[in-house]
Structure 1
Amino acid sequence: MRPLTHPRRVILGLTAVATVAAGLTLVPGSATAAEIPVGSGSYSDTRPDGTVGPLDSDGNPVLPQVTDNVADQPVPTNDWWSSLVFKRYADIPHSQPMYGHPLSYQAVANGLEVGYQTQAAVDGAAYNFPHVADLTLGLAGLNSPDTKADGWSDWTVTPYWEDDAHTFRATIGHGSPFVYAEGTGGDAEITTGAAPEVFADEGSTLGVTVNGRDYALFAPGGSAWTVSGDTISSDLGGNGYYSVAVLPDQSALDLYAQYAYSFVTGSTVDWSYDESAGQVSATYTLQTEAREGEETGTIQALYPHQWQHTTDELTDYEYVSPRGTMRVRDGASFTTTQSVVGVLPTLPESGGPDQAQLASFVNEVAADATVGFGDTYWSGKQFGRLAQVVGIADQIGETAARDTILDAMKAGFEEWFTAGGAAQFAYDSDWRTLTGYPASYGSDQELNDHHFHYSYFVYGAAVIAQYDPEWAAESAWGGMVEELIADAANPARDDDRYPFLRGFDVYAGHSWASGHQGFAAGNNQESSSESVNLSAGLILWGSATGDTELRDLGVYLLTTESEAIRQYWFDGNEENFPADYQHNTLGMVWSNGGAHATWWTGNPEEIHGINILPVTGGSLHLAQDQDAIVRNLEELVEENGGPPVEWKEILWEFQALADPAAARAAYDGDGGGSYEPEAGESWAHVYHWIYTLDAVGAPDTSVTADSPTAAAFSNGSSTTYTAHNYGDSEQTVTFSDGATLTVPPNSSATQTG
């Protein structure tokens, strides 16, 4: 990502005189709001009149709840622990349940509740592993009025408690069986949710079983634990720290004891895209500090999407989680490696679609090519709808229609990217976020869904950049595109304006939608496909603008999340959902489980379709598990009592990724092209998608390429290779099966062999 230009780092709340002196413009309707220039565009430093920012459930404005240690840092909302900083409910000043896996947590007045749930509660459409407090970690007498975040890293966080006599902090994280506690003002005090059964007492190390779960408590060397009823205490030898670990079983006590004093202080993911090999690798590393002794190693529990893609040595120990079996690694780091499925701006040219019919559909879109200004989500959907037709128009020589659509998209973007109009963006310096107004679905009050909404903007802008690089230049309108990218998916950890990867949880492998995580079930994500839409947009935007950092970020995000979707939304291996859960797909993943549901309807079509739309050249990853597609659609038909009635075209496009002939038969036999499609779709795109795949075959994701914008398709008798070259010189793309494809500059090419 190109560095953000420093003129945008203005001091918010400038006086009118200072604003003029800085070369900024006052936004109409406000005496103090400044228009912050970004290339040809701008955003405001103040929300439009009559609009709101983050609120609690009573409608009161809220600010990030953090300590002075991190008051100057952008807050990572939309995380697994965000209820620590975003107090959605005024009467819950500590936190909602937070699910790190294998442990769950909840901050309360006297410390940190810790639980490890091993039994799923299955209730029809949903299953969950609810938080139940086995232990509450704290200090004797601690009674804090609230809990704040005292620090965080890529997947760890440190909650902080303080009252008149005590301070207490505890570092917790994804995949960590340990909690690392520090405090002042009192002895360590741990209360148990049931009578503890002691299975090991070795002075500073105590093993207890609570509610059938085994825990190890580690005090500093030379100190000891005392058990009295449901209270366990230690004076810690005056050292003020201890750790607690949930054990996979009692035999692991000695192994875990080795790392009891190696306190985790941070976590970092580093990704690398090996373009020539068609693979992306990610290394997940915990930083540690030895509180006594010299040991700096630690224990980590890997999710299925991680341990199935690592060659690093794992132990035989396992944990139960809502995502399936977690496997234990004895080590502070591990690396995953996955093959990259390409993203295409447009499916390949083929003899499948009837050219006259396709041209008619394309010109219908061009004839009504406008972008209304309802809100960021629905305007975004319009950008997305038009963007999918541009490449099709170009492919069949309908250049007038292509340019009409591009002009409509540019006009829409330029309206949104200019402060002071009916549609605009405003920066919130308290929450370090850029929000579009009109807002929707809580994107303003709850900081929800920025990655969903902005995905359509980024993807649409990438299509424009393919045809008009000057428009997409940072000095023109591209600067505002990159502001949206920075808000939703900032790759920089040292940026003082936006947090690192706001919505994407690098350890969980997918994004979260709720800004505040204010639910007993933790955080959630419904439309994983709209999250992937942002990643695909990053790949195309980075490719079109020559920004390989953003391109490679998109490759990492899409490759990682596509496997999480396969595993946790579609249960691709049929191993991760509870054995007695009766559905094979989820509409929503929650921190503590999942639901065969959506936020707004129980219709089977929407439940199955919400993790498919928008269908784009970034959807090819879904073809990695064609059996899961078949199972998904079979369940839909069974639930629906027949073929889909709503969102038929989206579900046909999904079907075409596994069985193109069946999708074409459904299109031909069930009214394809004759009714109003879903708001983000057009018949030009649906027809082209289904008929092209019927001709060339479903994506063959076993064949990779040395380009992120290349793909192969197989119809059983031949393989079709296609790629887009964003460069100014000829490119030869090499596929993993040995095929090569020469692609002219700034063009797509296709060959069948």
Structure 2
Amino acid sequence: MPIFWAFIALFTLGYNSHIPSVVQSRTTAYRSPTSAFTYPAGISTVLPNPSSFFSPNLLKSPLPTSTFFQNYVINNGSQQEYIHPYLIKSNLSSLSISYPSIFSNSNITYQIFNADLTISVFNNPNPNRTHVISSFNDLSITLDIQPNLRFFLVRGSPFITCEILKSIKLYISTNHTIHGFVPNSSKTKYKINLDNGQTWILYSSSPIKLTHNKSSILSDEFDGIIRIAVLASSDSGFESVLDTYSSRYPVSGRALFKEQHNVEYKWVKKGSGDLLMLANALHFKLIDKSLVKVLNEFKYQSIDGELVGIVGESWVLKTDPIPVTWYSIKGVEKQSYPQIIKALVQDVNGLNASNISTTSSYFFGKLVARGARMALIAEEIGYPNVIPKIKTFLKGTIEPWLDGTFKGNGFLYEKTWGGLITKQGSNDSTADFGFGIYNDHHFHIGYFLYGIAVLAKIDPIWGNKYRPQAYALMTDFMTLGRVGKSNSNLEYTRVRMFDFWKLHSWAAGLFEFTDGRNQESSSEAVNAYYSAALMGLAYGDTHLYKVGSLLTSMEIHGAQTWWHVKEDSKLYASSYTRENRVTGVLWANKRDSALWWAPREFKECRLGINVLPLSPITEVLFSDVEYVKQLVKWTLPALAREGAAEGWKGMTYALEGLYEQEIALKKIRTLTGHDDGNSLSNMLWWIFSRE
């Protein structure tokens, strides 16, 4: 579900043997990030100006709009970001680091920023100059604090690494009191004990003379590398690990699609020795441990669970292939065909493109995908009679958005950030749930891609005609070109919504939030990449199928790790886990049980927004039936509340159907309505395609 602003402040890289033969026989090139079609140019009056925060060479290429460092390039760039394991805030000429404590109760869990150490230049001649991002990549940014401090902020590094470009005096302050200050004999290591119980260690590439008082540290003239890390444990072995790996540092990091169902992390490194990084819970599950050294006792606390030390020059994250298919995985019970056909005929008779009143790219897209589901159901149960009418509906709804004739809205390309906006969103940041400031692109476009994929499948001539427009739409959030490089040939930024370190997407775009990016609907994110993979099937594009399948797989892993809260989960605090089976809004620095548009008590809404749209991939997303039972049991009492919407009830019953088919079917038959992206025929298809 999109970000609301009302109260609104608003892999399967299947092996080749798993790729359907139609894809292998009709391969096409989708290796270029560019498209043969560009949507009409649009000018936005609501987008922020990026020129203050990016180096000039980066402004020549599309810029990221839902990334882990987004707060650094919005407004005055002073809001914190969580670059594991530290919260980091840049304020004009200084950088503040916090090893955050975690607050949790039954409703919310978040990390608390406190400026443990703030680094700046002593007597800086330009104290009001903003920071500048001189490079960025999937796992890192280079942040220049003018004039002489360059920070390599690499996600998962236990060290903050700073290159001092010109000999200056370094000034480090703290919000705490310095209780201890101990250098080694060579003055290349200092232990800094604070009155909050923390101990920080500063390493330098050459001797540095530091003096201190109760709240600050001053250096003599120095140039070179300094690295700062907190001792997250008082165990003597912990400090020894930091000492051992303090000389090898990453300056950037990139995620590569490797082989057929893997992601590889590669870092550009300097210094000597081996590279020490930290793995989050999902990394630890997927990483090929035969290629790295795991330091099980070297851990940092995090809102994302314990971060564990990994020593290795690169990582390989492996995921099993998942079935990205048009139809149900196990097939539909043949004796149910008459019931489904009856509902299908009725649903299809109600399809009429001219009767759609919404101009919202989100709600319109849902209606497109709803109609497309009917075509696939008809194909799966062998009832082609309704397909001509569905085809007419899909053409009537999709074409106007692709050829620019849709009245009241449409897609435009704006070049400042390099991506699609809507006509409505070009001058209203709240329109289309913020699509015009790059919110929710994968949600909205994902629904359209589903419809396009299905229509291209059942009408290849149409598909060929509109392929350029379809690919231009898809590549808005699926471009694989390199980021952080000057390349004027790129039309869109690299995989716009996906976070390669957390391995899930963010929905929030160019809007400043204290707790960073956020996403509410994990299932709509899954749908986006699933739909792109289906488009690869429809167009015989092996590469698109593989990339879409990989991202679908990763997004599912992300949802199951970060959103799905099992009763015995140790990821979050027990107070939060006890009361929540699914997270509402997941932030970079917070987990909230409430939604943007509904209170936390509306549990059926929380469940529903992390289930819809109901399609074959839903079964993979909810493959853990024991968890599904917990989730449904937790949700069912909320359905008795007066005003509980029929559409959300339907999503709850759909999950119940994974293990109680007959009970769920009876409940579904009592529904008086469905979510606007769902239908009775789709619900019956779902129930009768269970075991």
Do the two structures share a fold, i.e. TM-score over 0.5?
yes
CA separation of 1:610 and 1:505: change in aligned 2, threshold 3 A? same
CA separation of 1:235 and 1:656: change in aligned 2, threshold 3 A? farther
Contact 1:220 1:239 in 2 (8 A): no
Deviation at 1:467, TM superposition (A): 1.8
Deviation at 1:449, TM superposition (A): 0.7
The match for 1:169 is: 150
The match for 1:471 is: 462
Question: Separation in 1 of the partners of 2:561 and 2:35?
Answer: 44
CA separation of 1:64 and 1:626: change in aligned 2, threshold 3 A? farther
Deviation at 1:524, TM superposition (A): 0.6
Identity of aligned residues (%): 22
Are residues 1:130 and 2:112 paired? yes
Are residues 1:307 and 2:284 paired? yes
Are residues 1:148 and 2:132 paired? yes
The match for 1:650 is: 651
The match for 2:232 is: 248
The match for 1:108 is: 91
Contact 2:86 2:97 in 1 (8 A): yes
Question: Separation in 1 of the partners of 2:121 and 2:443?
Answer: 42
Contact 2:33 2:491 in 1 (8 A): no
Letter in 1 for 2:626: D
Question: Separation in 1 of the partners of 2:454 and 2:52?
Answer: 36
TM-score (norm 2): 0.86
The match for 1:515 is: 509
CA separation of 1:309 and 1:688: change in aligned 2, threshold 3 A? same
Deviation at 1:116, TM superposition (A): 1.2
The match for 2:320 is: 339
Which deviates more from structure 2 when the two are superposed, residues 246-255 or residues 213-222? Answer: 246-255
RMSD (Å) for aligned C-alpha atoms? 2.4
Cα shift readout 1:455-513 (whole Å, capped 9, x = no counterpart) = 1111221112222233223xx21212211221112122166221111110011111111
Are residues 1:482 and 2:471 paired? yes
The match for 1:579 is: 574
1:83 alignment partner, one of 53, 56, 71: 71
1:226 alignment partner, one of 211, 233, 255: 211
2:56 alignment partner, one of 57, 61, 68: 68
**Secondary structure at the counterpart of residue 586 of structure 2:** strand
Cα shift readout 1:622-660 (whole Å, capped 9, x = no counterpart) = 233222211111111245557965411112222223443
Question: Separation in 2 of the partners of 1:283 and 1:532?
Answer: 21
Letter in 2 for 1:76: P
Map of 1:523-542 to 2, 5 A cutoff? 523-542=517-536
Question: Separation in 1 of the partners of 2:245 and 2:123?
Answer: 29
CA separation of 1:63 and 1:435: change in aligned 2, threshold 3 A? farther
CA separation of 1:612 and 1:599: change in aligned 2, threshold 3 A? same
Deviation at 1:5, TM superposition (A): 9.3
Question: Separation in 1 of the partners of 2:541 and 2:120?
Answer: 48
**Ranges in structure 1 where 5+ consecutive residues have no aligned partner:** 9-37, 88-92, 275-279, 698-753
Contact 1:489 1:500 in 2 (8 A): yes
Map of 1:316-715 to 2, 5 A cutoff? 316-347=297-328, 349-351=331-333, 354-371=336-353, 372=356, 374-419=359-404, 421-422=406-407, 423-439=409-425, 440-473=431-464, 476-493=465-482, 496-516=490-510, 518-572=512-566, 574-581=569-576, 582-602=579-599, 603-639=602-638, 646=646, 647-668=648-669, 671-672=670-671, 675-693=672-690, 697=691
Question: Separation in 1 of the partners of 2:266 and 2:199?
Answer: 26
Question: Separation in 1 of the partners of 2:138 and 2:84?
Answer: 15
Cα shift readout 1:277-318 (whole Å, capped 9, x = no counterpart) = xxx22221221122xxx33x3221111111022242310211
Cα shift readout 1:64-114 (whole Å, capped 9, x = no counterpart) = 731124222321110121112232xxxxx1331101121111111231111
Contact 1:509 1:560 in 2 (8 A): yes
CA separation of 1:540 and 1:633: change in aligned 2, threshold 3 A? same
1:298 alignment partner, one of 254, 267, 275: 275
Contact 1:622 1:657 in 2 (8 A): no
2:223 alignment partner, one of 239, 259, 262: 239
Deviation at 1:267, TM superposition (A): 0.9
Contact 1:161 1:167 in 2 (8 A): yes
Letter in 2 for 1:174: R
Contact 2:50 2:74 in 1 (8 A): yes
Structure having greater relative contact order (Cα 8 Å, sep ≥ 6): 2
Contact 2:424 2:436 in 1 (8 A): no
CA separation of 1:405 and 1:353: change in aligned 2, threshold 3 A? farther
CA separation of 1:368 and 1:490: change in aligned 2, threshold 3 A? same
CA separation of 1:367 and 1:431: change in aligned 2, threshold 3 A? same
Contact 1:158 1:170 in 2 (8 A): yes
The match for 1:193 is: 175
**Secondary structure at the counterpart of residue 512 of structure 2:** coil
Letter in 1 for 2:202: L
Letter in 1 for 2:571: N
Deviation at 1:386, TM superposition (A): 0.8
Question: Separation in 2 of the partners of 1:205 and 1:431?
Answer: 42
**Secondary structure at the counterpart of residue 617 of structure 2:** coil
Cα shift readout 1:157-189 (whole Å, capped 9, x = no counterpart) = 122233xxx333312132121222134473122
Cα shift readout 1:510-541 (whole Å, capped 9, x = no counterpart) = 11111135111111110111110011112211
Contact 2:52 2:130 in 1 (8 A): no
TM-score (norm 1): 0.79
Letter in 1 for 2:60: D
